[in-house]
Every structure is written in structure tokens, then in C-alpha cells.
Amino acid sequence: MKLQGKVAIVTGSTSGIGQGIAKALAQQGSDIVLNGFGEPDKIEQERRFLSDKYNVTALYHPADMGKPDEIADLISITKKEFGKIDILVNNAGVQYVAPITEMPPEKWDQIIAIDLSSAFHMIHHGLPHLRENGWGRIINIASAHGLVASPFKAPYVAAKHGLLGLTKVVALEAARDNVTCNAICPGYVRTPLVEGQIKGQAKARNISEEDVIQNIILGAQPTKKFIEIEEVGALTVFLCGDHAQGMNGQIISIDGGWTAQ
């Protein structure tokens, strides 16, 4: 197991991609701090599943990624419980689809806070602990929308473009400390976040939900297939491994060819 003895925090890991990443890291022996919203029973079930199945320690911290003080607490509790922190996966994210003139300003603020600023706060508080170990990995889950735009997603596209800039800066600042920082840009993965957008896109474009799936979502991806959660988990594991020690400040797409066009 590649990551035995490591301690990883995965934000937004009670659902979708983050949940898959937490599982992939635990499968490689890493202890895990879960984070995100959801029903307490389901979260406890996930926590137990990881610790029982993979024989790792899994904890849950409920920090709201929109609240810098709670992010600071997530980092400090993790350090207190495990004595160290090795891997930060900044994955939590939300989406809202509307033309810019109808985009509620509070949605702009919320998406910038959760999809962009939370990664700043995680790294701001977490990087000193990674440096202390003389080893660390930071993986920011961005999006194809970090590289290209789609209409009706102003805050999301702005946040994800910003996250790629943050990734490059951190990569440069931490390069001499054996800490790497990279970003993964998935295309469409069929998670609750995308299910929610299907409805939003149908309304914004005045077309059926099936049209949204076939023509807007899969229309963007030349493979005409959704990306699987496991593909993002496997790339995260690779980036945490020794063979990725020279990969730093990179923007890596898994998007079925979307951004090759």
C-alpha cells in the first residue's frame, strides 16, 4: 500500500467525487479526515466503512468550507488527532446555473467562497504542517471549467479559473519543501452536483432535461461518456505517490477530450 501512515484531509467527501477520492486514498492505507454536509447516520456509515474495510483511522469534521474559522479548526483538529498532516485534497464545491443578469449576487459570493477561497484557507493553515513533515501533496479539484467557459456559470467558471492560478503559485512557493501542488480538471461526472445542473440548464435554455444530457453535457465530451468517479480517485492516488514527485503546478484534465477541441 502506497500511502500507509499518511494523513489526508478530503474536503467535500460526503458525496460524489470527494467520497470516491477518500475511498481511493484509504484503499492505499492513508488515514482520512472526511468533511462535508449530509445526514449524520450516512456520514457515520461512510466513516465506519473506510476504517473497517481498509483498516485505517477515519474521522469526520463538519467544517463549512464557506467559513474560514471552521477551516482553521479542521486543520488544527486534524493535527491534534494525528500529530501530522500529509495530504490536502481541496474538493468541496457547489454550482448554480443562471444567466449573469439573473445570477443572485449571494450565489456569486457563496461559490467563490466554497469553490475558491476555501482552498486558499486550507493551504494557508495546512501548508506549514506539510512542510514540517518534509513531504506533502496538495491536490485541488478544479474542472474543465477551470480551462474553458460555458454560459450561465459565471461564478463557477471564475472560481475554477482562479483555483488553477492558486495551484501554480503554491507549487512555486512549496517546491523546495518536497510538497507538490497540482490540479485535476474533470469533465462531467454524474454526481448530485451534475444532477442538479441538469434541471438548471434545462430551465436556463428552455430545453428538456434529456436534451441537456445529450447535447449540452455529453455534447462537450468527444467520448460521449461521463467520467467515472474512480478515474479521479486513481489520479489523486498517483499524484500522491513517489512517481509523481516531479509533477508540480500541473493542470491535469480527465475530460474525454473536451478541452482538446
Which one-letter DSSP state was computed for residue 65?
T
Question: Between residues 7 and 34, which has the closer beta carbon with respect to ligand NAD?
Answer: 34
Which residue in 54, 60, 96, 156 is the catalytic one?
156
Return d(Cα 133, Cα 99) in angstroms, integer.
46
What 3-state DSSP class applies to 19? helix
Question: Taking the complex as a whole, how short is the minimal distance between the CB of residue 200 and ligand NAD, in angstroms?
Answer: 13
Closer residue to ligand NAD in complex, CB, 133/143: 143
Crossing angle of helices 154-174/105-112, nearest 10°? 20
Residues of this chain that interact with ligand NAD (CB under 6 A) are 11-18, 35-38, 64-66, 91-94, 114-115, 141, 143, 186, 188-189, 191-194
Whole-number minimum distance, CB 143 to ligand NAD, in Å?
4
- Least distance in Å: CB of 176 to ligand NAD? 29
Residue number with CB closer to ligand NAD (34 or 179): 34
CB of 153 to ligand NAD, least distance (A): 10
Q: Is 156 a catalytic residue?
A: yes
List the beta bridge partners of residue 91. none
Query: For residue 24, what is its C-alpha cell?
Result: 481511493
Nearest to 174 by CA among 132, 142, 220: 132
Given the complex with ligand NAD, which of 27 and 91 has the nearer CB atom? 91
Alpha-carbon span 49 to 44, nearest angstrom: 8
Tell me the sheet residues that pair with 189.
Answer: 227
Any idea which residues carry the catalytic annotation? 156
